[in-house]
Copies of this chain bind each other. A is one copy, B any other.
Amino acid sequence: MSFSARPRSMFVQNSWYVFGWSHEVAEPKGLLGRVIIGQPIVVWRDGEGVLHAMEDRCPHRHAPMSRGKVHGDTIRCMYHGMTFSTRGECVDMPLVQPAPDCRLRTYPVTERDDWIWVWTGEPGGEAAIEVPRAIGINAPGRPMMASQIEYDAHYQLLHDNLCDLSHVDFVHRESLKRATGADWAETAPRITHRDRGLRFERWFEEAELPGKPELKVDTWIEIDFTFPGIFVMQGERHAAGTAAACNRQRPLGIEPLMRNFEQQAVTPVGANRTAYFYATGLSGNTSETDAHVTRRMAVVNAAFEEDRQMIEAQQQIWNLTSADHTKHFLPQDKGPFLMRKLVDKLLKAERG
């Protein structure tokens, strides 16, 4: 078994990608331009609030539509005034009648779980591939806080990071490890295959929580990681002994002391630039959930800054390293390895 020595320079096209948070284009007539998988795309809401996604490149002189303006259900390029319908047809241009061959590519777009998803693949292909499931950040009684950053690194280095949480013990020893009270590198999760993704399950038993030495808990962790980089984690804290009582299986029907939720998405921008959207939340028998979420978000923000520094430094080393330089494979690389294998398979299928 081996890693491909260097990240692929191409992207899987046939996929739903997280373009951004729904609240980034909150209002009717809002516009947001972004480059994802090397393609300039504009997402906008018409006057009724309905979402549309298009090529962010006016067919006239390739100015960005995202510097344009929305009028009713049309979007106008504010360089020379070309105006397009929601189907990408030019419906107005100065001086002459719009030509039928003057079109903008449109992208299927949808909102789900508070993310805006864009289909970048072959038209019509979107029906065959489900939008990956996440959690949503606005469920009642289960508040989540959302944020985002960008990394100067290849997206597969972020996949690797998320598919092997043994790094919590090292990169996040002062942040997430302390908060969880668990030893992430000493045991491996159970990994099973899912459609275009993996499931990671594990128990941490008899963990001590920070500031509460009298309380021991068993923690159940369940993570779904779905291509193209959707990380959904649910954690449950149970009374010590629950893991054994469940025979180390999923704690079905047992109400936990507390639940926590993580919703994260990795979206490639370009070869070595990657966007990362994340949210954290919890629910449980606490009278001060909001304050608890705020404290948790501070820990998460600190942790992802730790990741960013490590992964960007790692990318710098990769940049200095020849493609055939050996990497050593460990058991905890099983998740990253299976995910890279899946990406390779998807790329190969597209290259046909």
State the A residues within 8 Å of B (CB): 3, 35, 38-40, 56-57, 59-64, 67, 76-82, 90, 93-96, 99, 101-102, 160, 164, 166-167, 169-171, 185-188, 309-310, 313-314, 316-318, 320-321, 325-328, 330-333
Q: Are A321 and B57 in contact (CB under 8 A)?
A: yes
Structural contact, B38 and A320, CB atoms closer than 8 A: yes
> How many copies are assembled?
3
CA distance A318 to B40 in the complex (A): 10
CB <8 Å contact, B331 and A67 = no
Closest Cβ–Cβ distance, residue A47 to chain B (whole Å): 20
Q: Is the CB of A99 within 8 A of B328?
A: yes
Q: Which 9 residue pairs spanning A and B have beta carbons closest together?
A: A94-B185, A78-B170, A59-B328, A102-B328, A63-B314, A64-B313, A62-B317, A95-B331, A57-B317
Contacts of A64 in B (CB 8 A): 313-314, 316-317
User: What DSSP secondary structure best describes chain A's contact surface?
Assistant: loop
**6 pairs across A/B with beta carbons < 8 Å?**
A67-B313, A80-B167, A80-B185, A94-B330, A95-B188, A95-B330
Q: Which residues of B contact A56 (CB under 8 A)?
A: 317
B313 touching A63 by the CB < 8 A rule? yes
Q: Contact: A79 with B310, CB < 8 Å?
A: yes
Given A320-B39, A321-B57, residue A96 in contact with residue B330 (CB < 8 A): yes
Smallest Cβ-Cβ distance to A187: which chain B residue: B95
